[in-house]
Amino acid sequence: MSNGYEDHMAEDCRDDIGRTNLIVNYLPQNMTQDELRSLFSSIGEVESAKLIRDKVAGHSLGYGFVNYVTAKDAERAINTLNGLRLQSKTIKVSYARPSSEVIKDANLYISGLPRTMTQKDVEDMFSRFGRIINSRVLVDQTTGLSRGVAFIRFDKRSEAEEAITSFNGHKPPGSSEPITVKFAANPNQNKNVALLSQLYHSPARRFGGPVHHQAQRFRFSPMGVDHMSGLSGVNVPGNASSGWCIFIYNLGQDADEGILWQMFGPFGAVTNVKVIRDFNTNK
């Protein structure tokens, strides 16, 4: 039979366990898991460190988890390393939260943004709705310019819902067109899968199936484009280890990779986009 003191001690113990696990956002793309562990080991004894990578391409998604032996060291790590400048990134260190319905499906997909908007501009625009866990603006690898597409993960789903209500169809400063704000990981994912399946099986389809040998002809490189697969979660049936390759025909001459990102991004994690152009006309 337990008494009030024992119950209080057990609750404190559970709180301590929860306060040893940290999430680290905005890590440099080339930072390794060993380097992550080494950095946080300078504060105290680390029980585990894990860098989160793309399941298909294997590259870093720019965030990871560090679990300390003691809650005191975890708190010191937040106070010491949060806001640390690493290469061109400023890392964000905070307590990792246990999964719950309150924080699920809080990822947003935003398209139609002015190409001049930076990641900071996007965060400043959306921060009024709540705490932003992480964000990313997709950029063209060649020009370094924004594609007008961003992803934001809020602390709570209710905050994401408020952002959608306020900003979907809204024209931000410097833009003549309204932006689209929607959930990146749609709770009704089966509808998205059914839509893709319908397109695939349609007699007049313009989409090819999983023809990986054809893709090799064009030398697609999954490391050659920006990714945000950690913020979207639609899984189309197929070979999970290599993904799916689909072909889209009869595109307009002004279509580019950015347009395809905007079209297909809401359906799930896009690992590569390539528009095949004529070598002579570049169209």
pLDDT at 280: 66
Question: How crowded is residue 35: how many other Cβ atoms within 10 Å of its Cβ?
Answer: 15
Tell me, yes or no, if the pTM score tops 0.85.
Answer: no
CATH 3.30.70.330 domain range(s) in the chain? 4-95, 107-183
pLDDT at 155: 82
Tokens of 142: 């060649």
Task: Single out the residue of 150, 152, 171 nearest to residue 160, CA to CA.
Answer: 152
Q: Which CATH superfamily is domain 107-183 in?
A: RRM (RNA recognition motif) domain (3.30.70.330)
Per-residue pLDDT tens for 84-97? 999 888 999 998 87
* CB neighbour class for 217 (10 Å; exposed up to 12, middle 13-18, buried from 19): exposed
H or E segment to which residue 82 belongs = none
Amino acid at 257: E
Q: What is the CATH number of domain 4-95?
A: 3.30.70.330
68-72, 76-80, 141-145, 161-165: least confident range: 141-145
- Residue ranges in the chain assigned as alpha helix (H): 4-18, 33-41, 71-81, 119-126, 157-167, 189-201, 212-215, 257-264
Per-residue pLDDT tens for 164-205? 999 999 998 878 899 999 998 544 444 444 544 444 444 444
The answer to whether residues 210 and 238 touch, using CB atoms and an 8 Å cutoff, is: yes
